[in-house]
A and B are shown apart, each in its own frame.
Chain A
Amino acid sequence: MSHIHQIAPAPKTYELELDVLSNEPVNREYRLLVLRAPPELLEKCRAGQFFHLLCPQMGGQAPYLRRPMSIYGVYPEHGELHFLYKVTGEGTRALAMLRAGHGLNVLGPLGEPFSIEPEWDRLVLAARGVGLATLAPLALEARRLGKQLTAICSARSEDVLMSVDLFRNMGADVITLTDEDGSSSVENLEAVLIALIDGPGIDAFYTCGSNRLLKLLQKLGTRHGIPGQIALEQQMACGLGMCHCCVRPFQKEEGIVNLRVCREGPVFDIQEAMAW
């Protein structure tokens, strides 16, 4: 089947220099980067999509390739684009040096977003640590659509639990699980999810980043017939789908296929994702 491409004058993806409004630590481990962005850019952003950031070369850091980062918050009414990140390597060390007034070159929005089907009313998101940042915009979207959302937030200790207030402010029921009090074990999480399934019911799962969460949600999804989506990560070069660096294997009907996390993802069907 061939198709003739219509050349669209308006780009779907923008390469732009945005102003940094603030870039402050929000707790011991995470920082919140706030950029001023034009409304036409923000209106195109969807939960689960990402931007490819050209981290600055400063303070002895010289990251070369862009770094993909999922959208944490989009606020067209304030003209703001938010990213939540943890300093782990050269790219994020460079990002942490940005101050209000600096510029940051961004490319985006990129990738396929999460979807919320009209018949899904009771949504459950479960994630751990910085993975919650990727799911935060989903809470905004769920509220906009009038969906009931339960956010299960897992972390090492209570004081690094991310996004709890944000999820509460979005009207979500929040369940916190920590390593410190032992509540974040897979067994306990399974018990929490089964209680929800047996109680109000779950129409769809959303998760990201964790292998054990993936396996658990695949198992429960299969057993109870609950669909789900997962946002995945992979090292990237171009972020647009040109280079094929960021592939991961997926279990499709026709067998195992490599798909590009930047283009066919980063959001995938939870049952097609493969544990790593």
Chain B
Amino acid sequence: MVRLDVDIAGLRLKNPIMPASGTFSEDLADVFDLDLLGAHVTKTITRGFRGGNPTPRVCEVGGSMLNSIGIPSKGVGYFLENVVPFYQAYETPLVVSISGNTADEFAQLCAEVSVPGVDAIEVNISCPNIEEDGKAFAIRPSSTFEVMTKLRRATALPLWAKLTPNTGETSEVARAAEEAGADALVVANTILSMAIDIRTRKPKLGNLMGGLSGPSLKPIALRMAYQCARATKIPVIGCGGISTVEDAVEFLIAGASAVQVGTATFINPTAMVTIIDDLSHYLEAEGLSSVREIIGTVEDGEQREGVVFMEAAP
């Protein structure tokens, strides 16, 4: 029997497959037993009520999708009363995804969701920071360090920082999060994108721009996961376009200790269950006894990142 369990900064997961925030909810329990998953990751909540963005909130782009949902949230009170108790019926650890408009509001929410039944907090620092002209916290190392420092003080629970691909400073942002006390990095969120209907000349999303997810995002997220694994000593959780066991294994080889599956669940609601099964078979076929044996085994010839960048530049 192949071992699938992994350790994310002291939190043991029975397998390295979990949902990406925003693509999972209690509703999926209608389809399969949610205790099959390595972790449960909630949709991002904010402290207060948020209605979300105008429709259309989704469109297709060449085998992937754009979304601009806008973090609709019923607020922290509803969450603590209804959502946390739902997940307490399961053995699987609960990871709560949170967001805030300012670092202080973010930290306050972080403290409020640090309750029994919550096993880790994923901080969505890819969301816009209204104190920084709407730029996401995780675009710059300085704003990442500042918000993560406040979040770290607000909770004793494991803190996972979800990074954004909308930055040119991936390694620096990753190190800033680590220095400020992040226990793990989730790499990464969606990348800012756009699509226009040439018939109506209107943007296809009600919010004009939105996040790209699905298979097109995978190479970008994989590159970032690799960079983050090299730049820091904390566990990296890969996220971005993972649809199959091959995709998941690619992230593990790049250095991720676990992966999140998002958009693929919209196409096949049982995608995560399939990937868990296929991961056992893959490891068995490779003659491995534990998934841990494959993490970070990329044969990169120990090249320095700077050299790789220069050669990759167009």
Whether A245 lies near B43 (C-beta < 8 A) is: no
What's the tally of chain A residues with a CB closer than 8 Å to chain B? Answer: 40
A221 contacts the other chain (CB 8 A): no
In chain A, positions 53-94 with a C-beta closer than 8 Å to chain B are 54, 62-66, 90
Residues of B within 8 A of A90 (CB): 60
Chain B: minimal CB distance from A219 (Å): 26
Q: Are B89 and A5 in contact, CB atoms less than 8 angstroms apart?
A: yes
Q: What mask results when residues 1 to 34 of chain A are scored 1 for a CB within 8 Å of chain B, else 0?
A: 1111111110111110000000000000000000
By the criterion CB–CB under 8 Å, are A244 and B64 in contact? no
Roughly how many angstroms separate A246 CA and B52 CA in the complex, as a whole number? 12
Chain B residues, Cβ within 8 Å of A248 = 55
Chain B minimum-CB-distance residue to A110: B30
Residues of B within 8 A of A246 (CB): 55, 57
Which chain A residues numbered 222 to 263 have a C-beta less than 8 Å away from chain B? 234-248, 258, 263
Contact of A65 among B22, B31, B266, B269 (CB under 8 A): B266
Residue in A closest to B59 when the chains form the complex, CB atoms: A235
Nearest CB on B from A144, distance (A): 25
* Residues on the A chain within 8 Å of B64, using CB: 64
A107 within 8 A of B: yes
Do A237 and B86 have beta carbons less than 8 Å apart?
A: no
Interface flags for B269-287 (1: CB within 8 Å of A; 0: not) read: 1100000000000000000
B60 touches A12 (CB 8 A): no
Which residue of chain A lies nearest to B83 when distances are taken between CB atoms in the complex? Answer: A2
Chain B residues lying within 8 Å of A263, measured Cβ to Cβ, are 27
CB distance A245 to B67 under 8 Å? yes
Q: Is the CB–CB distance between B33 and A7 below 8 Å?
A: yes
A134 to B238, CA, bound (A): 42
B30 touches A11 (CB 8 A): yes
Q: How far is the CA of A107 from the CA of B289 in the complex (A)?
A: 35
Interface centre among A4, A64, A105 (most CB of B within 10 A): A64
B85 contacts A15, C-beta separation under 8 Å: no
- Contact A5-B86, Cβ < 8 Å, known A15-B269, A243-B266: yes
A3 with B86: CB separation less than 8 A = yes
B114: CB under 8 A from chain A?
no
Residue of A whose beta carbon sits closest to that of B82: A2
- B29 touching A64 by the CB < 8 A rule? no
> A235: which B residues are within 8 A, CB to CB?
55-59
A4, B31: Cα distance in complex, Å? 18
The answer to whether B30 touches A13, judged by C-beta atoms less than 8 angstroms apart, is yes
Q: How far is the CB of A254 from chain B (nearest CB, A)?
A: 12
| Minimal beta-carbon separation of B267 from chain A (angstroms) | 7
Q: Contact between A241 and B25 (Cβ–Cβ < 8 Å)? A: yes
- In the complex formed, the residue of B with least CB distance to A66 is B267
The answer to whether A15 and B31 touch across the interface, beta carbons within 8 angstroms, is yes
| Complex CA–CA separation, A241 to B229 (angstroms) | 34
What residue in chain B is nearest A8 (Cβ atoms)?
Answer: B29
Tell me if B29 and A5 are in contact (CB < 8 A): yes
Contact B267 A7 (CB under 8 A): no
* Chain B residues closer than 8 Å to A7, beta-carbon distance: 29, 33-35, 89-90
CB-CB under 8 A from B72, the residues of chain A are 244, 247, 258
Enumerate A121-160 residues with CB–CB distance to B below 8 Å.
Answer: none
Contact among B65, B90, B269 for A240, CB-based, below 8 A:
B269
Check B27–A64 contact: CB distance below 8 A. no
Distance, CA A35 to CA B267, complexed state (A): 20
Q: Is B214 an interface residue (CB 8 A)?
A: yes
Residue in B23, B72, B90, B269 with the greatest tally of chain A CB atoms within 10 Å:
B269
User: Which residues does chain B contribute within 8 Å of A62, judged by CB atoms?
Assistant: 62-63
- Max chain B Cβ within 10 angstroms of own Cβ: one of A236, A240, A248: A240
B184 CB, min distance to chain A CBs, angstroms: 23
Contacts A243-B69, A247-B57 given; does A66 touch B85 at CB 8 Å: no
**When the two chains form their complex, are residues A242 and B28 in contact, meaning their CB atoms are under 8 A apart?**
yes
Contacts of B81 in A (CB 8 A): 1-2
Given A5-B86, A243-B23, also A237-B65 (CB < 8 A):
yes
Binding site for B on A (CB under 8 A): 1-9, 11-15, 54, 62-66, 90, 105, 107, 234-248, 258, 263
* 4 tightest Cβ-Cβ pairs between the two chains A and B: A241-B27, A245-B58, A2-B85, A12-B30
B-side interface residues toward A, CB under 8 Å?
Answer: 22-35, 43, 51-52, 55-60, 62-65, 67, 69, 72, 81-82, 85-86, 88-90, 214, 265-270
Q: List 18 A-B contacts (CB under 8 A).
A: A4-B85, A5-B85, A13-B31, A14-B31, A62-B63, A63-B60, A64-B214, A66-B266, A237-B266, A238-B265, A240-B25, A240-B27, A241-B25, A242-B22, A242-B24, A242-B28, A244-B52, A263-B27
**Besides A11-B32, A235-B57, A247-B72, 20 new A-B residue pairs in contact (Cβ under 8 A), listed by A number:** A4-B88, A4-B89, A5-B29, A7-B89, A8-B29, A12-B30, A15-B270, A64-B64, A90-B60, A107-B31, A235-B58, A238-B269, A239-B266, A240-B31, A241-B25, A241-B27, A242-B266, A244-B72, A245-B56, A248-B55
